[in-house]
Amino acid sequence: MAISFNVNGRPVSLEAPPEMPVLWALRDLLNLTGTKYGCGIGACGACTIHLDGKAVLACVVRLEEVAGRAVTTIEGLDPDGNHPVQRAWAQLGVPQCGYCQPGQIMRAAALLAEKKNPTDAEIDQAMAGNICRCGCYQRIHAAIRLAATGV
């Protein structure tokens, strides 16, 4: 049975097990490799995507849960890199190794879509589920503050 949904604004239909994590459908079946595998248990945030505009962890969301819904990956946030969060990340040179950054950016973009000018506490709370092993938290926080201004 095919599962149909939208990815980055285009319709897709996949013949895949309904219990397959969306992460693997994106990476292995749709070749959208910007969404990263980190832990596989929803503890690190590396695989953060948007589902109907809300940040979710692609490693724990099953394919059947996205049927008929809209998925946005880092590739679809703004393909030209002109989303305010992407511009702020580049302007401040946020990444060190960069592995977790797609998930960080997607989580930050969802936060700013919900709250145009979040407080420091709201930023800390929203980003708490995304781990950066390089410790770029101060730059991540500063980039979110900058993106809130529209960069």
Encode pLDDT of 129-139 as tens digits.
Answer: 999 999 999 99
CATH at residue 120: 1.10.150.120
Q: Among residues 77, 106, 125, which one ends one of the domains?
A: 77
In percent, the amount of the chain with pLDDT more than 90 equals 98
Same domain, yes or no, for 11 and 68? Answer: yes
Helices 137-148, 101-114: crossing angle, 10 deg rounding:
40
Same domain, yes or no, for 44 and 98? Answer: no
Q: Please say whether the beta carbons of 113 and 84 come within 8 A.
A: no
Domain boundaries, position 138? 84-148
Same domain, yes or no, for 18 and 73? Answer: yes
Q: Please say whether the beta carbons of 32 and 19 come within 8 A.
A: no
Same domain, yes or no, for 9 and 67? Answer: yes
Q: Is the pLDDT of residue 145 over 90?
A: yes
Q: Please say whether the beta carbons of 63 and 16 come within 8 A.
A: yes
When the pLDDT of each residue in the chain is averaged and rounded to a whole number, the result is 96
What torsion do the CA atoms of 30, 89, 42, 124 make, to the nearest 10 degrees? -150
pLDDT of residue 36: 97
Number of domains present in the structure of the chain: 2
The per-residue pLDDT for range 14-49, each reduced to its tens digit, is 999 999 999 999 999 999 999 999 999 999 999 999
pLDDT of residue 151: 74
Same domain, yes or no, for 31 and 63? Answer: yes
- Give the predicted TM-score (pTM) of the model: 0.96
Distances (CA, A) of 132 to 96, 102, 129, 140: 9, 11, 10, 9
CATH at residue 61: 3.10.20.30
Same domain, yes or no, for 107 and 122? Answer: yes
Q: How many helices (H) and strands (E) does the chain have?
A: 6, 5
Same domain, yes or no, for 7 and 73? Answer: yes
Q: What are phi and psi of 13, to 5 degrees?
A: -140, 125
Q: Is the pLDDT of residue 1 over 90?
A: no
